[in-house]
C-alpha cells in the first residue's frame, strides 16, 4: 500500500472509531463530557511516557484510562455532592487536567520521546514511517494496527451492549427497572471513549479528536431518529471526512487532521441545511406547507361564513384570495390546491364558488372554530379573547377531537358571540 493509502486508512479508522462512541455521547447530551475526556487524559499519557520512558501502547492506555475515569468521577462528584452545575463541573475538570498535562509535557518532554505539538495537534502524515516490527519484519504502520484494534473493540462494545447503551441513553429509569445499571454503562462508555481518544492522539491530536467524537454523531442525528441508522450515518460521515480531508489537505498544503475536521464541519453544515428530519430547508418547506394549508382553511371559512349569512356564495377571485391573509403567491397556491381537491370551482368569468364538498369541509372548520371558542369561554377566558386562540387551533382539530369537544359543550348551541355552531348533520 502507498503512503497515501496508509494515511487515508489511518484517518478512516480514527474517524469511524470516534464516531461510533461519539454518537452515544450526542444522544446522551454528553458531548461536552467527550470534549473533557479528550483533554483530561493528556496528563495520563504524559505520566505514562515519563514512567515507562517509551511509547509502548499498554502504558499509554493505562494512563489515559486512569485519568479518563478520574475525570468522570470528579465531574460526578462536583455535580452531585457539591451541587456545582454539570457544565461548570466539566469545564473545571477538563481545563485543570488538560493544563496539568501541558505542564507535564513541557517539563518532561526533553526526557522522553514526546512531542508536545504532536500530542496536541497530531501528525497523521508521519503514519507510514512508524512501522510495526516483528522478527525484523515490517507489518505496516503501527497506528493502523492500534486503531484497527480499537475499532474492533468499539464494534464489539456497541454490539454486545447495544440494548444496554440504548436503554441507558434514552431512559435511565427504565434501564434500572429491568436490571441494567445506567451508572455502570456510563463508566464503561467513558472508559471506551478514553481508550479511543488516546489511540487517536498521534493521528489527530487531543484537540481535533473532539470533532471526530461529536460532529459525525451530531450530523447523523439531523438525518434520522432511528439509532441503527444514526450509527451507520455517523460512521459513513467519519470515513468520508477522512478521505476527503486527505485530498483537501494536499490541495491546500495544510494539516491533514485539520482538513478532516474542516470536511466534518462542511458535512454538518450541509446536514443543517438539507437533512430531511431537522434540516433548515425541510423545516422551511414544512412551514410553507402548513401556511398554505392554513390559507386553504381561511379561504373556505371566509366563503362558508358568507354562505351562512344567506348572501351570494360567488366570490371574485381576487377577493377570495384575500381571505387567505398570506403572501399572494401562497394564496394562489392555496387556491390551486382547493381547485385540485374539488373544494372550489373557478368559473370562466374569474369568479369562485364553493362546491358541495367545499361547503361541507368549510362547515367542519367553522364548527371546530366555534366549538373551541365556546370551550375556552367555559374555561374562563373572556369572550373577547377567545377568537385568536381558536383561530390558531382550529386547523389542527380532526373529527375525533371535534366530537370530543362537542361532547363537552353539548348543551350550548351558540358560540360566545351568539353565532350558531354547525352540527354534524350539516357536515355530511
Q: Under CATH, which number does the domain 3-277 receive?
A: 1.10.3470.10
Residues 6+ apart with CB under 8 A from 117: 123
359-427 has which CATH code? 1.10.60.10
In this structure, what C-alpha cell is assigned to residue 21?
462512541
Q: Classify 412 in phi/psi space as left (phi over 0), alpha (psi -120 to 50) or beta.
A: beta
Residues 229 and 11 sit within 8 Å (Cβ to Cβ): no
pLDDT (tens digit, 9 = 90+) per residue, 274-294?
Answer: 998 788 998 899 888 888 988
The DSSP string of 73-103 is: HHHHHHHHTS---HHHHHHHHHHHHHHHHHH
CATH topology classification for 282-354: Arc Repressor Mutant, subunit A (1.10.10)
Q: How many CB atoms lie within 10 A of CB 163?
A: 11
- Confidence check: pLDDT of 409 > 60: yes
- Edge to edge, the sheet with strand 315-316 lists 315-316, 351-354, 344-346
Written in H, E and C, the secondary structure of 246-288 is HHHHHHHCCCHHHHHHHHHHHHHHHHHHHCCCCCHHHHHHHHH
pLDDT for residue 114: 52
Q: Please state the pTM of the whole predicted model.
A: 0.78
Query: Is the CB of residue 355 less than 8 Å from the CB of residue 345?
Result: yes
pLDDT of residue 23: 94
Percent helix, strand, coil in the chain (nearest 5)?
Answer: 75, 5, 20
Structure confidence at residue 428 as a pLDDT band (50, 70, 90): very low
Q: What is the pLDDT of residues 258-270, one digit of tens each?
A: 888 899 999 999 9
- Residue extent(s) of CATH 1.10.60.10 domains in the chain: 359-427
Top pLDDT among 31 and 99 is at 99
- Residue 90 has a pLDDT of 87
Q: Between 313 and 91, where is the model more confident?
A: 91
List, by residue range, all CATH 1.10.3470.10 domains of the chain. 3-277
Q: What is the DSSP-derived secondary structure letter of residue 422?
A: P
Residue 116 pLDDT exceeds 90: no
- Predicted pLDDT at 232: 95
Q: Name the residue with higher pLDDT: 426 or 349.
A: 349
Indicate whether 109 pLDDT > 60. no
Could you report the per-residue pLDDT of 221-270, keeping only the tens digit for each? 999 989 999 999 999 999 999 999 999 988 988 888 888 889 999 999 99
* Residue-level pLDDT at 175: 79
Q: Which residues pair with 414 in a beta bridge?
A: 420
Residues of the chain with CATH 1.10.10: 282-354
- The per-residue pLDDT for range 174-219, each reduced to its tens digit, is 777 788 888 888 888 888 888 888 788 767 776 678 888 999 999 9
Q: What is the pLDDT of residues 143-181, one digit of tens each?
A: 888 899 999 999 999 999 999 999 888 887 777 778 888
Answer whether 362's CB lies under 8 Å from 355's CB.
Answer: no
Amino acid at each position: 500500500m502507498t503512503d497515501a493509502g496508509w494515511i487515508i486508512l489511518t484517518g478512516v479508522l480514527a474517524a469511524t472509531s470516534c464516531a461510533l462512541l461519539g454518537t452515544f455521547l450526542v444522544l446522551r447530551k454528553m458531548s461536552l463530557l467527550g470534549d473533557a475526556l479528550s483533554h483530561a487524559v493528556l496528563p495520563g499519557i504524559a505520566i505514562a511516557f515519563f514512567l515507562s520512558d517509551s511509547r509502548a501502547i499498554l502504558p499509554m492506555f493505562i494512563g489515559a484510562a486512569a485519568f479518563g475515569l478520574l475525570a468522570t468521577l470528579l465531574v460526578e462528584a462536583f455535580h452531585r455532592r457539591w451541587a456545582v452545575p454539570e457544565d461548570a463541573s466539566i469545564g473545571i475538570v477538563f481545563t485543570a487536567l488538560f493544563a496539568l498535562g501541558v505542564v507535564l509535557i513541557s517539563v518532561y518532554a526533553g526526557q522522553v520521546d514526546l512531542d508536545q505539538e504532536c500530542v496536541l495537534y497530531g501528525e497523521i502524515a508521519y503514519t507510514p514511517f512508524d512501522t510495526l516490527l516483528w522478527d525484523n519484519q515490517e507489518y505496516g504502520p503501527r497506528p493502523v494496527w492500534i486503531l484497527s484494534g480499537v475499532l474492533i473493540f468499539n464494534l464489539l462494545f456497541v454490539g454486545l451492549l447495544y440494548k444496554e447503551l440504548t436503554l441507558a441513553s434514552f431512559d435511565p429509569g427504565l434501564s434500572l427497572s429491568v436490571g441494567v445499571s445506567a451508572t455502570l454503562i456510563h463508566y464503561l462508555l467513558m472508559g471506551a471513549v478514553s481508550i479511543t481518544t488516546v489511540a487517536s492522539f498521534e493521528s489527530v491530536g487531543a484537540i481535533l479528536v473532539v470533532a471526530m467524537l461529536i460532529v459525525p454523531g451530531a450530523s447523523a442525528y439531523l438525518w434520522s431518529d432511528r439509532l441503527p441508522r444514526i450509527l451507520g450515518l455517523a460512521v459513513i460521515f467519519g470515513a468520508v471526512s477522512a478521505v476527503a480531508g486527505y485530498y483537501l489537505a494536499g490541495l491546500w498544503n495544510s494539516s491533514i487532521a485539520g482538513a478532516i475536521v474542516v470536511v466534518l464541519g462542511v458535512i454538518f453544515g450541509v446536514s443543517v441545511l438539507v437533512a430531511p428530519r431537522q434540516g433548515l430547508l425541510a423545516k422551511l418547506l414544512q412551514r410553507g406547507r402548513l401556511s398554505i394549508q392554513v390559507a386553504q382553511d381561511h379561504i373556505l371559512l371566509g366563503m362558508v361564513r358568507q354562505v351562512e349569512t344567506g348572501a351570494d356564495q360567488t366570490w371574485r377571485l381576487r377577493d377570495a384570495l384575500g381571505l387567505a391573509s398570506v403572501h399572494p403567491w401562497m394564496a394562489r397556491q392555496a387556491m390551486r390546491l382547493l381547485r385540485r381537491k374539488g373544494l372550489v370551482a373557478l368559473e370562466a368569468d374569474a369568479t369562485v364558488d364553493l362546491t358541495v364538498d367545499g361547503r361541507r369541509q368549510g362547515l367542519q372548520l367553522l364548527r371546530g372554530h366555534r366549538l373551541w371558542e365556546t370551550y375556552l369561554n367555559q374555561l374562563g377566558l373572556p369572550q373577547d379573547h377567545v377568537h385568536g386562540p381558536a383561530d390558531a387551533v382550529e386547523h389542527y382539530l380532526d373529527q375525533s377531537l371535534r366530537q370530543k369537544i362537542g361532547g363537552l359543550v353539548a348543551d350550548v348551541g351558540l358560540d360566545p358571540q351568539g353565532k350558531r355552531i354547525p352540527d354534524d348533520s350539516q357536515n355530511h
